[in-house]
Structure 1
């Protein structure tokens, strides 16, 4: 799944973190015990997030009786803001808080938000309006989750990297273990919270997500000694120095987070405002990157940045289509798919666990495949992998449209097939993209490029909402959904083909022959693409 994990770890290596790498204390399976503290904390965080995500659109349309376009719009605004938040949270952790304190703040906000989601009130009946007080609690809970993700997701994988020295050969193994925790949580969250929510009541599903996040927070706080200083503030004295009366910087960040929560409380219900803010943020970011590339970099470095921006732009299309899983595809599965397996009608939300299952089983296969192809000299370039990702994504929609008809329920096998093709596409896009950002950027721009990558992911979620709304614009019938899916499927394949044609030219612009571990970047520092960059662990795939 998503790639909202690592934004800032490439620069945050404090003295404490280095010390942690030199004196790691107790180990388990050859790794510091702190890794497993982070494993379980992140597992429960993903359990809560994906458990809630599996239920959200169903909850809106069945409990509050939102029409589909409104439900998709709210879902899109929520997921878009989730991707904007980590840019700010990562900055605050780098400059002031340190990753550990940022994760703690994020976890507390997430616990409150997920538990608030369990306040469902009475079901809305036809002709009635939702209880405003219950709706406001719901919106505020979403705001708490958005702010919490902003603090947590940008920083927890930073701490994983901080447990090891840059030259430690166990780093890839450590992120692989962490990646298993991420996917285990996502898999179990959709299964358990989805089942409880649809079978026993929404409060049980959302409550299970909240309990999962609470367990994650307990594990993280309890396991602080095992982190052995990793992720601590780079300047504790600066953080604790008074700013406004008795309030220091840490207090001000807490206060700021609360204020931002109230702002997000209003933003999350306004899809148009969120999209406008996102467009402004992306435009400013792109223009600044282009200016930096033209004014500060040599020709080869500038060309690499241009290629990186092209790759970033495809993120918008990819996630715009992929993220139908939580919105239109979720309702399609609920209403138009024969979900009877061995005599049991499986709740629709539980099918969102399929992606995580495929990631866990196919991720190692793809990692080994790229290594094997690389040894043979056959490994596709990053742009070609992006082309393959788009073509598989489009093929998934066409397969579903082929297996569906207006007169009968869609066989469940086609849901497994669309998720399979979308997952294999994701494995060609997400980890490859994160790796490319750290590889193509100069050291002084890595954080900026990663921020642009995640902003594009947020834009993809905004596009996803508009595509989902298009599936509902002609009514609630299957015909409109399949028409939109067919169009976007062919469009993605067409863009993938064009991308494949352009891939050799983009690969040439990457100047891989002059890319080295000792090139000098735009500010005269050593640009160590291999040793001073750390793609970390994205949300659902390993970078």
Structure 2
């Protein structure tokens, strides 16, 4: 079925040489990111200005929320692959996200009571659950529009990625302005309108998917469990119950931290067990290289993701935000990063190609080190440009900080998943992708901890206290980045890039470095 679907998609009507379904998914993802980044632009301000959280408590809540956002696609993607199919998962996720934003929009006008705060947590928990279904499945649907060997797949994901950043650019501009100028419920309400628009478009234009993303076993999905309810509705209802779990966890950031710590330790042990217990030298080296990149990943995101927390508060309180006589709401500046990606993404991609033709392109681990150095440099630029105590920081230095951070992201984010797909044997590639997002979730939690540190001992940030923290993390980030670049040649050798062509599409031994060891002879089940 999957083959026929891909062939049909690849030979149907096209726009700009691509299946029309790609532009439907572009539209859906654009509105989902509009709603997500629009709401995120308001989140830290809503906590500190509406509910009067201290900076420290707001940062903890922000870190817990963002961590759960990145963990949820693991379960949502699993349920989509096993039961629902990607199309139903995207639709269900979009509806649940829209409901979450509606809850936030309704709550925006409620006084800061215990009931109002509980309703706010419920809105966030609902958004987390919906994102788990939509985020992973929308990306998977893009690949299903093309035959496996179609050369248009990479450009298709580039177009899809542009949709992400278009939504991420306009979301904070519209939701941020409405939320901080007209009232919180206007900003959250605008985010819900965006997601509702995406859902309506997805339902209306379903034929453009040409049968892609349907359930793997429709008959089994329709079967009644215990004679009471279909398996499909059982998945929906059990997923809605997970909202209660998310509602609890958002309020217990320490538990989220322990969950991430234990999960990370188990992941490291698993990778080491795979590398030394089940693989030969080439595969073992590649898994160790993957582990190295996975360790660097949360360090970067922990610093980079100050955008939605401590940097947002710094911009609001200590920056001259006047542009052409207009005092721009601080939340709107969270669109700068996505706008930079739209501007510089093609430039950096072209630069890598130009360097590669001359044999000068940095290796993947070297790019990771460069990313850390750039994100650290961004903080140091802000510190250097902030001037004397008691003065407002010129807006120019906020733009320069985001420029450094965006260039760092372009050095790390696009190549990270690509590296995982190259280094992991195909039998565990899905798991390694999930581990990559788990590492990002750990980085989001670390971002909350770093932002909390800017609040000082009493939980109330001062300009000099924030800049002192930024100075320390800036120098540490540059130092770690330089160290990563220094050992990058050794890590590159572990990747065995000259032997990637030896691996077949199924990851069969011995090409992927996974072979039956002498003490496992006669046990073919170990071949996976």
Pair in the same fold by TM > 0.5: yes
Work out the CA distance in 1 between the residues paired with 2:209 and 2:63: 36
Q: Which residue pairs with 1:424 in the alignment?
A: 407
Residue 167 of structure 1 and its aligned partner are, at CA, apart by 1.6
- 1:243 maps onto 2:230 in alignment: no
Q: Which residue pairs with 1:100 in the alignment?
A: 87
Q: Which residue pairs with 2:290 in the alignment?
A: 308
Work out the CA distance in 2 between the residues paired with 1:335 and 1:404: 13
With the length of structure 1 as denominator, give the TM-score of the two structures. 0.91
The range that moved more, 461-470 or 228-237, is: 228-237
Residue 341 of structure 1 and its aligned partner are, at CA, apart by 0.6
Work out the CA distance in 2 between the residues paired with 1:517 and 1:244: 49
Match 1:415 to one of 386, 395, 398: 398
> What's the RMSD between the two structures over aligned residues?
1.7
Work out the CA distance in 1 between the residues paired with 2:505 and 2:162: 36
- 1:275 maps onto 2:246 in alignment: no
Q: Deviations over 1:211-262 (max 9, x none)?
A: 0000011111111111001111222122222223232321121111111111
Q: Which residue pairs with 1:127 in the alignment?
A: none
Q: Deviations over 1:451-477 (max 9, x none)?
A: 111001000011111100100024321
The correspondence of residues 207-286 of structure 1 with structure 2, limited to 5 A, is 207-286=189-268
The range that moved more, 235-244 or 481-490, is: 235-244
Work out the CA distance in 2 between the residues paired with 1:256 and 1:526: 41
The correspondence of residues 109-508 of structure 1 with structure 2, limited to 5 A, is 109-120=96-107, 130-405=112-387, 406-474=389-457, 475-508=460-493
SS in 1 for 2:150: coil
Residue 325 of structure 1 and its aligned partner are, at CA, apart by 0.3
Match 2:42 to one of 52, 55, 62: 55
Count of residues in correspondence between the two structures = 510
Q: Which residue pairs with 1:8 in the alignment?
A: none
Q: Deviations over 1:265-291 (max 9, x none)?
A: 111111001111112222222222221
Q: Deviations over 1:397-456 (max 9, x none)?
A: 000011113220000000000000000000000011111010111101111111111001
Work out the CA distance in 1 between the residues paired with 2:327 and 2:240: 42
Work out the CA distance in 2 between the residues paired with 1:270 and 1:158: 32
**Structure 2 runs not aligned, ≥5 long:** 514-528
Q: Which residue pairs with 1:515 in the alignment?
A: 500
Q: Which residue pairs with 1:18 in the alignment?
A: 6
Q: Which residue pairs with 2:521 in the alignment?
A: none
Contact 2:39 2:175 in 1 (8 A): yes
Work out the CA distance in 1 between the residues paired with 2:196 and 2:505: 46
SS in 2 for 1:230: coil
Work out the CA distance in 2 between the residues paired with 1:212 and 1:196: 14
User: Quick one: structure 1 residues 21 and 57, their matched pair in 2 at CA, closer, same or farther if it must change by over 3 Å?
Assistant: same
With the length of structure 2 as denominator, give the TM-score of the two structures. 0.94
Contact 1:119 1:138 in 2 (8 A): no
SS in 2 for 1:209: helix
Q: Deviations over 1:291-317 (max 9, x none)?
A: 122222221011101111110111111
User: Quick one: structure 1 residues 58 and 380, their matched pair in 2 at CA, closer, same or farther if it must change by over 3 Å?
Assistant: same
Contact 1:53 1:326 in 2 (8 A): yes
Contact 2:426 2:505 in 1 (8 A): no
Residue 526 of structure 1 and its aligned partner are, at CA, apart by 7.8
Work out the CA distance in 2 between the residues paired with 1:131 and 1:336: 29
Q: Pick the structure with more helix per residue.
A: 2
Contact 1:119 1:134 in 2 (8 A): no
- 1:76 maps onto 2:58 in alignment: no
Contact 2:283 2:512 in 1 (8 A): no
SS in 2 for 1:436: helix
Contact 1:72 1:465 in 2 (8 A): yes
Q: Which residue pairs with 2:517 in the alignment?
A: none
Residue 22 of structure 1 and its aligned partner are, at CA, apart by 4.3
Residue 67 of structure 1 and its aligned partner are, at CA, apart by 1.0
Contact 2:40 2:308 in 1 (8 A): yes
Q: Deviations over 1:476-503 (max 9, x none)?
A: 2101100100000000000001101100
Q: Which residue pairs with 1:539 in the alignment?
A: none
